[in-house]
Amino acid sequence: RGKRPFKFAFSFSGIYLEQCQRWCPQLLSLYKDLYETGCLELVSQTYFHSLSSIFYGDMGEFKEQARQHVALIKDLVGAEPRVFENTELIFNNLIARAAFELGFTGIITEGSSKILAGRSPHQVYHSKVAPDSRFCSGITRCRTTSGSGFRRNGGSIILLLPTNTPPG
């Protein structure tokens, strides 16, 4: 408390939060206390950490799980997530549009050389899903360690930020 030396973000599946609620409610209290310091950003995702976004015919299940996740976080922590991350950081314009339509101000996704196509990860990009610039991207390069089970070979993380959030 006080100086707020740094900020960080957590993203928990709905199933994890249910388990905390049942088996370790004091952990939820700790998360709520951390959130109230202003140092913690709670990031939303699909409730079941599912692959519902890859079924492109209908984004209904994906949107419903995102809504359920937001409702659970509001109920347990009293916070409404503004930023979304999809399972395994899967990203495309359909997913971005769905997140935008759900009211999220940003989305986190992995930056790869294929996605960046030679462009710098150190500038702001506007999303095609919101031409009026309400949903834009700021890219942060983030090297990961070889011991990481999530990303073994390093890379970038792209954070799509609202226009009123300064990068960095």
pLDDT in tens, 59-106: 999 999 999 999 999 999 999 999 899 998 888 888 888 998 999 988
Specify whether 80 is catalytic.
no
User: Taking the chain, what is the end-to-end CA distance rounded to the nearest angstrom?
Assistant: 21
Residue 8: the pLDDT is 86
Residue 74 to residues 2, 57, 158, Cα–Cα distance (Å): 25, 29, 25
Query: CB of 43 within 8 A of CB of 82?
Result: no
Among residues 18, 41, 61, 88, which one is catalytic?
88
Judge whether residue 163 has pLDDT over 80: no
**Separation of alpha carbons 102 and 81, rounded Å:** 11
pLDDT tens-place string over residues 4-15: 577 888 999 999
- This prediction has a pTM of 0.77
Say which amino acid occupies 166: P
